Structure 1
Amino acid sequence: MNPHVGIAWQIGSTFGWGVYGTQLALGLTRRGRLPTLLESPGPLTLDGLEAVRLKPAMDFRPRLVELIQKQGEGPIICQFPVIHARGNNAELQFGRLSPRTRGTANHACIFFDRTTFSPEAIDQLNRFDSVIAGSAWNGAHLRDLGVRNVIDNIQGIDASRFHPAPRRGLLGDRFAIFSGGKIEHRKGQDIVAAAFRAFRQRHDDAVLVTSWHNAWPKAEGVRQIMASRIFDGANLLDAEGRINVRRWLSLNGVPEDSVIALPEIPNALLPPVIRECDVAIFPNRCEGGTNLVAMETLALGVPSLLSANTGHMDLLDRQIGFALVDQTPVPEASSNPDYDVWGESSVDEIVERLEAVYRNREAFREVALSHARLMEDLSWTRQIDRLMDHLDITDITPAR
């Protein structure tokens, strides 16, 4: 049996697809398989043992590049299975070589937040041996569209890092609210900002800790959030066209000393930062997957407020997280069916939930710790193993 399994997108440590790919690669090594990286890794932070596990894959990269270059612009034929990344309307995700690459079996891994798929996209998905949906609603929608061989397999968390542990007290006695995710309309940071502004007027000891980064400041989602009806986002970009979170919040009534805007941090270094927080909020309008950052705050035992829509339901249906139940249609839905399943969270509900946590921290913490215990079943180790079983990517030798 050929030990190789191809990963046709960029792995890394600072973005969702990259983390997924890195965990997939590590999972393959546990089965004695060689993750074959068709794209050069992005920024990657590994501990010593992870680096050892992935060293054969990194060492094989130059040889793989040489073989690909010999193909010119022609097809890349692999004598092993390949897993590809897809998004809205089956668009490529971080994998420019994927359209040219064909393995002995080809599997598409897909996360989408727009529900319209062209006939050509559906036909493309049906050419894969299987389609791995990142959430139950993604999977159900694909089946309704006529996509065959759909497998639901949600993301995981690194349970060795994301678990409850003592705090270091670095924020003193301030009430810390965490919000993470790429800043864009879909993720709802305008709702977070409006809710925090209102809450901060009640409690001047509140601090907002943000992990909001977006490598594409000119993207549609950034333009949309700057046109927010909920929070004035006109000043999100500075004079150089870069996203400036603290400036945006300050210019719209949030004191600068009440905001900690984190630099971009590798996934493995986030746990001790998030543990310092009292609550996390995710009023996301739509999630194609389960929202990796929300899964991680839940696994850390931080009380987490999740909008009750789309991919978040995979967590809320397991009784994990605190639901933001007031969900109204987004205005875009009136003219575009792509937004039919999106939900708009209520600023007032978020403020009242924050107030409840503020006044009952220990009680919420106890419930959050029960959520963390449930998250143990959704570790990357278990989720990747489940995926490998679905795809019949069997063990060759036990991990050594």
Structure 2
Amino acid sequence: MTANARQNPGRRWLGLNWQISPTSGWGVLGMNLALQAEVDGRFAVVPFVPTDAPNALPPQYQTVFDRVLARERIAANLLAQHPDERCQCEFPVVHTLGNRLASNDAAERIVGTTNLAIIFSEDTHLPPHSLDVAKRFKWILAGSTWNRDVLRRHNVRNAETFLQAVDHSMFFPSDQPKAPGGPFLVFSGGKLEYRKGQDILVAAFRKFHQRHPESILFTAWHNHWPKSMIGIDRKGYVSGVPAVNSDGLLEITPWLESNGVPRGASHNLGAVPNHLMPKVYVQVDAAVFPNRCEGGTNLMAMECMASGLPTILSANTGHLDLIDERHCYPLTHQQRADVVAPFAATDGWGESDVDEVLDLLERVYRDRTEAARRGAAAAQFMRDWTWRRRFEQLVGYLD
């Protein structure tokens, strides 16, 4: 089966072989690459995987995404008519890779004139066959400098760095001062799991809330893959995992209450579409990301920094591309993190110190002037991290 781009004369199609979504990191990456392609005009993105929650895509870009979704339907019909055939595309295709260079079945079935792969990998073990996988792609674009270096140490010679970005039309510092005497809001985002280190924050926030009863923990911890939560209690900071209700949502608040965070001292945001997150960030006093590992640069942390929030970051792995004491609060006390399933090796991961998280929260709380200065510096630092630049970089790898 051959897929061509005759439906779009004058523009080359560009296949995206993963799901666009407003509520996941991969999905937001695809969403913004598709948007930039439409603005740029040289390429017309065609997604090969049905878009998740298309009605929750940013409404200001609805006209653009209507065109993208129309091409998605063309591709879906073509694939459905030939369910058992390999699709040889007459245009380039960008694929995804995960831990140990694992790809989805579609990457084997759909082949472009040029094949790139974007990877966010946390497992530092690469089995021998992964080098054969790497050879299928012209370039493997790693989501952080750390991720690229891990690949190169395993002789993946076509690995380069491809950092994420921020939509600065949505994520920027608020010009509205926070009302004095209100609650102190601490934000934490990312799917709930051991790798993201939310258990470390829970342990620190328990102590912080005892000192400052007006503090509230805002969580955006929805996890589309609940099995990956297993092991978050490994270090003993928390017990068990949240229940999943009949709607597939995590019962975060009761779980936090059972782990010492009083009801009323936390607010579970659930799965928030990306374009609604600015309404959350504008209320926040501090953002905390004590992650044990990030294969990329942590999209939510980047959005917080671009929004001018004082941001506490673990100084390890992908976060190292973001960290500078002048514009964030680095967690520098990093111990070696345990190896937990499904990961085979965790070289370079970091175990943040609960007391250091608590100390940095106290610094933000007690010195709001310095916190505001670092937040403003973070927003300035992020100004160059634009999706337009990232799309130009991607196009360069296609040539």
TM-score, structure 1 as length reference: 0.91
1:370 to 377, 388, 392: 377
SS at match of 2:345: helix
Counterpart position of 1:41: 51
Greater mean alpha carbon deviation, residues 128-137 or residues 44-53: 44-53
Greater mean alpha carbon deviation, residues 20-29 or residues 235-244: 235-244
Counterpart position of 2:5: none
Counterpart position of 2:92: 81
Counterpart position of 2:346: 339
Alpha-carbon spacing, 1:261–1:60, altered in 2? closer, same or farther (3 Å): same
Counterpart position of 2:239: 233
Alpha-carbon spacing, 1:131–1:318, altered in 2? closer, same or farther (3 Å): farther
Q: Distance in 1 between matches of 2:208 and 2:38?
A: 47
Counterpart position of 2:194: 185
Counterpart position of 2:274: 267
Q: Distance in 2 between matches of 1:209 and 1:111?
A: 26
1:389 maps to 2:396: yes
C-alpha RMSD of the superposition: 2.1
2:112 to 99, 103, 122: 103
TM-score, structure 2 as length reference: 0.91
1:195 to 200, 204, 217: 204
1:62 maps to 2:73: yes
Q: Distance in 2 between matches of 1:148 and 1:238?
A: 42
Deviation at 1:98, TM superposition (A): 2.1
Deviation at 1:307, TM superposition (A): 0.2
Counterpart position of 1:121: 130
In the alignment, structure 1 segments of 5+ residues that lack a partner are 393-400
In the alignment, structure 2 segments of 5+ residues that lack a partner are 1-9
Deviation at 1:97, TM superposition (A): 2.0
What residue identity is the alignment partner of 1:12? S
Alpha-carbon spacing, 1:360–1:171, altered in 2? closer, same or farther (3 Å): closer
What residue identity is the alignment partner of 1:180? G
Contact 2:189–2:219 (8 Å) recurs in 1: yes
Contact 2:15–2:46 (8 Å) recurs in 1: yes
1:50 maps to 2:50: no
1:31 maps to 2:37: no
Contact 2:57–2:273 (8 Å) recurs in 1: no
SS at match of 1:224: coil
Deviation at 1:342, TM superposition (A): 1.0
SS at match of 1:377: coil
Contact 1:190–1:228 (8 Å) recurs in 2: no
Deviation at 1:26, TM superposition (A): 0.9
Alpha-carbon spacing, 1:318–1:152, altered in 2? closer, same or farther (3 Å): farther
2:301 to 291, 294, 310: 294
Contact 1:167–1:272 (8 Å) recurs in 2: no
Q: Distance in 2 between matches of 1:391 and 1:91?
A: 22
